[in-house]
Structure 1
């Protein structure tokens, strides 16, 4: 709740997602289930939303998709990692003192557009930041996977002492690692204050990393020749989505809104990163898109009511509907492949430019390194 760090806008990565869902958080739909060829990654983001965190929120908006994309080319044996994200806010005076100024905004979910939607609703207000209490709540109330092979991680960001509040933060971190959940701490200030405030100790107790923001450096998006075509193809992908059921209209509209939100941070690379997410296995819209529901969740056309289908499919004969669906799925796969191929070229270009710029000590790179090191202990291999 101290003075806002001006460079927070410049140097926070998208792992520090935050949000402000105006309604009550609900558990994921059954269509959020993990398939046999997928390996689950679970990430809980606990974000200080007191008055001093406006810059943090702005940078989270611009970098939302980055951490998810770290797993795009990864494999755990023959399985493809897919990411669930849970969101908490804490330290905001708009929240109840009875809840220790904590709110679970979203449970663990693969609905990444919903994450983005609520991130853009986030507001801040001065408050009391209780790190131990929010970690304990996340451990107790989220549906953590029981398998030891699942990479389960908490990222908590803030700038007040880590030890504040009624719940012992060190005990909460010990409880986390006993449950197989790593805790990475991000102190929004200088390193000495973070260490003195207990942020380093908390991370060490939960086998995580202690990170701070370097106020003299910024996360830099290197514009590549492939960027414009990648973002154009991202919009083309939308034409392959077929809304169905009661959530169809909301889901389709929200997808377009989050494209627009990402475009607001085009200079920070958000539009490109979102496009790469949409071309990855982690982007799943089973609850409202019939292509995903049919291919990924096993929803069968014959099991749906006529009224749940979109008008263009209602106009088709029953025997023609699966063919129509398969055609849309093939179109989507083709566009996603184009995006992935363009990104391979883009990554080579960006790597060369990054060497020239000498940008090697920003928070985003530190976070990426932490995620990769920890996930590799779960036999997740990165390309």
Structure 2
């Protein structure tokens, strides 16, 4: 019994290490024994990057919302290159809006638009649903709501971040931002503040203090700055591959038809800003972060609990209705092979595209994307996350 307890204690101490590559005081021999125990009795938990985006949607924030819509895919792509030890972390994004007269006054003029989600199409759709209108902007209230309503979890390796953007005094409202900051500490959540306007004005209106209290980044941005999309010689081919990529999705279930239509709608939304933005979305769609196992048979087959026996004929697309299980399996496997080949082609083209853009775009940007990526990387490095 004592041996079991000793081994379990050692195992739990290693599981609870806060950094991806943290050093342990235990001996190599102890670690070897514990690793064996963990491998046989505990399933490795994939770390997660959890980002709650709190956006001011009052009248003056049209530029901020436009930047969020136009830069989503660049941010997602940057996060897809992150690595925690030997693992690639999953990404979950939540979205709140606040400071809008159309929102419920009793709730503090705020709304949870989307809880934590890894559905990138749903996240894009939620962003494009936002509209602006005048209102009261209560930063403490919306931060407090995000901390209490979202499932942050207790995994030490997870990177848990709030990004709040706005341009009114940070101290407004009945919920103190200082109390909200204490709650953030308790949940191991870092609050990054993005002031839309002059840097010194943001300091004097407590936006910097709000970040400092949780060891976050304070950034002042020009929220009316137009997003710069750098075109590359690889864009047309990547967009051509996007069309091919879309043909590899096999929609099933009651949500299948609606979800594949949403996929096309978000392709169109990305193109509405710029060709290069559509390219960034295509790169995101070809990455490990774009998964659709709830409605796509190719992704669904990667799930541990998947079985072809669970699928009813009525849930299948017309090209598979009446087919045997073996015929369906062959069809889906062929689509999976096609997808993998297309994704590999996009990855190669994107590598060349990134190098090209890096040479062309040397000027520092003062926008939402740059603020978020810089903060994400600096805080991720504190937990030994690396970028490939």
Return the TM-score normalized by structure 2.
Answer: 0.85
- Distance in 1, matches of 2:342 and 2:150, equals 35
Matched, 1:92 2:94: no
- Distance in 2, matches of 1:71 and 1:60, equals 15
- Distance in 2, matches of 1:159 and 1:332, equals 44
Match of 1:378 among 370, 383, 388: 383
How far is 1:210 from its partner?
0.5
Q: 1:219·1:362 contact (CA, 8 Å) conserved in 2?
A: no
Secondary structure at the aligned position of 2:72 is classed as coil
1:111-145 Cα offsets, whole Å, 9 max, x none, are: 11111112222211111000000000000010112
Aligned to 1:187: 195
How far is 1:214 from its partner?
4.1
How far is 1:260 from its partner?
0.6
Matched, 1:368 2:376: no
Q: 1:71·1:82 contact (CA, 8 Å) conserved in 2?
A: no
Q: 1:102·1:134 contact (CA, 8 Å) conserved in 2?
A: yes
Counterparts of 1:227-306 in structure 2, within 5 Å, are 227-266=235-274, 269-296=276-303, 298-306=305-313
Secondary structure at the aligned position of 1:183 is classed as strand
Q: 1:64·1:270 contact (CA, 8 Å) conserved in 2?
A: no
Aligned to 1:146: 154
Change (3 A) 1:237 1:38: farther
Secondary structure at the aligned position of 1:126 is classed as coil
Q: 1:218·1:362 contact (CA, 8 Å) conserved in 2?
A: no
Q: 2:46·2:87 contact (CA, 8 Å) conserved in 1?
A: yes
How far is 1:65 from its partner?
1.3
- Distance in 1, matches of 2:222 and 2:127, equals 24
Q: 1:37·1:79 contact (CA, 8 Å) conserved in 2?
A: no
- Runs of 5+ consecutive residues of structure 2 not aligned to the other structure: 1-42
RMSD: 1.7
Match of 2:355 among 324, 335, 348: 348
1:60-119 Cα offsets, whole Å, 9 max, x none, are: 211121211112222112211221110101111111111011111110001111111122
Matched, 1:80 2:64: no
Aligned to 2:329: 322
How far is 1:207 from its partner?
1.2
- Distance in 1, matches of 2:304 and 2:126, equals 25
Q: 1:47·1:89 contact (CA, 8 Å) conserved in 2?
A: yes
- Distance in 2, matches of 1:132 and 1:368, equals 23
Matched, 1:112 2:120: yes
Matched, 1:63 2:71: yes
1:12-40 Cα offsets, whole Å, 9 max, x none, are: xxxxxxxxxxxxxxxxxxxxxxx957431
Change (3 A) 1:327 1:73: same
Secondary structure at the aligned position of 1:240 is classed as coil
Q: 1:286·1:297 contact (CA, 8 Å) conserved in 2?
A: no
- Distance in 1, matches of 2:145 and 2:224, equals 34
- Runs of 5+ consecutive residues of structure 1 not aligned to the other structure: 1-34
- Over 6 Å off, 4+ runs: none
Q: 2:63·2:224 contact (CA, 8 Å) conserved in 1?
A: no
Which deviates the most, 181-190 or 60-69?
A: 60-69
- Distance in 1, matches of 2:164 and 2:174, equals 17
Counterparts of 1:187-226 in structure 2, within 5 Å, are 187-214=195-222, 219-226=227-234
Q: 1:177·1:207 contact (CA, 8 Å) conserved in 2?
A: no
Which deviates the most, 52-61 or 147-156?
A: 52-61
Return the TM-score normalized by structure 1.
Answer: 0.86
Aligned to 2:178: 170
Q: 1:37·1:78 contact (CA, 8 Å) conserved in 2?
A: no
Matched, 1:136 2:141: no
Aligned to 1:12: none
Q: 1:279·1:339 contact (CA, 8 Å) conserved in 2?
A: yes
Which deviates the most, 137-146 or 207-216?
A: 207-216
Secondary structure at the aligned position of 2:80 is classed as coil
- Distance in 1, matches of 2:97 and 2:380, equals 25
Larger radius of gyration: 2
Change (3 A) 1:219 1:119: closer
Which deviates the most, 320-329 or 124-133?
A: 320-329
